[in-house]
Structure 1
């Protein structure tokens, strides 16, 4: 047995969508896995691994309220082999795969367990609408009057849906400030505040791509927005730059060609690397989604994204210095929905010590959320959403 291949860490990320167990190890390892029924279990055998305190403490990593995993334990199975047994709360679709070293991580063996009946974002949206609007569904909720400027008369418009995308999460912390702040926590905090403000509007509702600390692949973020036929997609970030004095807020839209600046290109490259750090199973591709994201004939959508971006940027400029006073563009993967105006907001630079302090201030988070919704309101006044079915299609 190789003494050099030790288990360095075990991290567990529970969520209703799926639970991830990431096992970090020092060198490549061999493994096999299989499932057992009655009760449902996932078994993984690790070859050439020394049983140590990290593995011994694995059981304590599983929270009682984990939606998918009941128990996780490890023990010596036979000479040179450590066996992991994951007891499951329900039948799952497991994905077991290896990630190479990247960023601060060494090799990782990833155990993803997906429920056979995953949460349906459309059903969640309907249930949320029912709770927000006193038992009425979105379909039953009265239409809202929205004033169209230049026409001189109000028109009846529908309830609009906005997908909020808190950047990073789970295995992917995003940028880390000098004070130890994680971008993934800041983005989620701002997104929760913004969702509350949107839901308080009489004609809007918001959905989060993630509402807790877990990793969501970039394509899945887009897919969730399209599944519910969102009217807007707003990705929230607090990124870092090579210089600690970089500061200010920015708004980005997709570019079909090159980036509008070297800084925009750099940030897009950083954000697009999230799948490498968070960990995507490249063997489980969705061909339908891949085809969707390759459809870049979306000039009209990008034009609407730029209008939305300018409206939001103008409002953000009232609470923080702007890194640049115009909407920038680059090839952000998360903005590639061909039919949804999409923007990415850098609320501030977490790599700047002063801005890191502001990003952790609840009052600043609230002001940022208020500025974003104010920009969204002004965008819709000038660009009322087109007519479409009140609820997203089921197909």
Structure 2
């Protein structure tokens, strides 16, 4: 046996690698261009056949963004989406002998961000361009005004339609896309919440575009929301799986997010209302965060149980209890957050149900019912629910020792006859501990 063989093999392999480096890279094919326009940025995604080299630069007079892709060409069946958002038109042509140039005509100057994504799940290589307006004005955070006596504010519910844009989510048995279903449910949920006294809803997205997970719950924090609801439609390998489910953050997820927040000086300051915590205050920061997270997780669990109970009355639930998982969208340290899996989109019967507006309305009403019950039992201070609770307490009287019906009537500025009528009393005698309704007006 020739003992030099392994050495020769290594030398040959090295030569092959060297020759490969000297040869031009294999030409990449551009298969498709997809464009999504959101309120904050426009995303353009090129589906490409493999890794590629590219460069981006901008021009003004008029505003344009130029993308040069080395050793590339359009595939024979190339599909291009229509321009949208910040893009007016998209043009392309050859640059030199082998490169491809794509020109984006813009409504205004942009700040581009780009990255190449490797294959993942059903996607191949993707070149992603996110275009942000240069002139974008950041929202100014204001201190919440103190409410005048006798007035109240609405509770704010942030509704997050899962997936969106290039992320379709799960695909149903007949081709329904989760991102479409979740947006339809979210819009219906917003509609019924906005009709409810004392409640206002806002959507994290109101169109077909993608929002990173952390930005979704940050939108709730920026809005000073009282509750965050992320809407999804589950999928499973077995088409027989069915039923809705409600999820809250697992303790492991809370712990990992706590570490991230404590490592971020901006987040630390935010936790204590703008008071900066320096490195000597790690213990104080940890205690404050632990208190905040503990209260938030307790509230999340309480509202989740109410929503789960309500949804179980309008259809099957996948399990008979609230579930826990480390979902990124549930990691807000100070906004109670739940994730609702409305049904299994992979189940043909439930897919049909999710596509039926009447069924989506039932789902929305069930979620609203649970949310309403939670805020009635735990009204945030200063809200309409808290004011109504105080009014209800004011309209009731618990009989104490030595009180008679006439004494109670005089105390509340009403008559004995009115007290008898509203409480359906047949006599004037009352007992200690009785709860009487006080006539209004």
Give yes or no for TM over 0.5.
yes
User: Taking structure 1 as reference, are residues 327 and 291 closer, same or farther at Cα in structure 2, changes over 3 Å only?
Assistant: farther
Q: Give the helix-richer structure, 1 or 2.
A: 2
Contact 1:219–1:289 under 8 Å retained in 2: no
Give the corresponding residue for 2:386: none
Contact 1:292–1:338 under 8 Å retained in 2: no
1:337 partnered with 2:337: no
1:319 partnered with 2:314: yes
Give RMSD over aligned pairs: 2.9
1:42 partnered with 2:62: no
Q: Aligned residue pairs: how many?
A: 332
Give, in angstroms, the shift of residue 141 of structure 1: 10
Aligned to 2:120, the other structure's residue is in SS state: coil
Give, in angstroms, the shift of residue 243 of structure 1: 1.9
Greater displacement, 241-250 / 80-89? 241-250
- Provide the C-alpha distance between the structure 1 equivalents of 2:153 and 2:308, rounded to a whole number of angstroms: 25
User: Taking structure 1 as reference, are residues 228 and 119 closer, same or farther at Cα in structure 2, changes over 3 Å only?
Assistant: farther
Give, in angstroms, the shift of residue 62 of structure 1: 2.7
Q: 1:203 aligns with which of 177, 198, 208?
A: 198
Contact 1:51–1:76 under 8 Å retained in 2: no
Aligned to 1:238, the other structure's residue is in SS state: strand
1:101 partnered with 2:119: yes
Give the corresponding residue for 2:134: 116
Contact 2:162–2:182 under 8 Å retained in 1: yes
Larger RCO: Structure 1 or Structure 2 (Cα < 8 Å, ≥ 6 residues apart)? 1
1:9 partnered with 2:37: no
Aligned to 1:348, the other structure's residue is in SS state: strand
1:217 partnered with 2:240: no
Aligned to 2:28, the other structure's residue is in SS state: coil
Give the corresponding residue for 2:49: 26
Contact 1:33–1:43 under 8 Å retained in 2: yes
- Provide the C-alpha distance between the structure 2 equivalents of 1:90 and 1:119, rounded to a whole number of angstroms: 14
Contact 1:48–1:81 under 8 Å retained in 2: yes
- Provide the C-alpha distance between the structure 1 equivalents of 2:163 and 2:147, rounded to a whole number of angstroms: 34
Runs of 5+ unmatched residues, structure 2: 1-23, 255-263, 272-284, 384-441
Give, in angstroms, the shift of residue 118 of structure 1: 4.2
Give the corresponding residue for 1:189: 184
Give the corresponding residue for 1:281: none
Contact 2:193–2:200 under 8 Å retained in 1: yes
Once the two structures are superposed, residues 135-182 of structure 1 have per-residue CA deviations (whole angstroms, 9 ceiling, x without a partner) of xxx989999xxxxxxxxxxx8642111100000001111111111010
Give, in angstroms, the shift of residue 187 of structure 1: 0.3
1:68 partnered with 2:92: no
Look at both structures and tell me which one has the larger radius of gyration over its CA atoms: 2
TM-score (norm 2): 0.70
Aligned to 1:169, the other structure's residue is in SS state: coil
- Provide the C-alpha distance between the structure 1 equivalents of 2:266 and 2:94, rounded to a whole number of angstroms: 43
Runs of 4+ in 1 over 2 A off after TM superposition: 1-5, 51-55, 116-123, 138-143, 155-158, 286-297
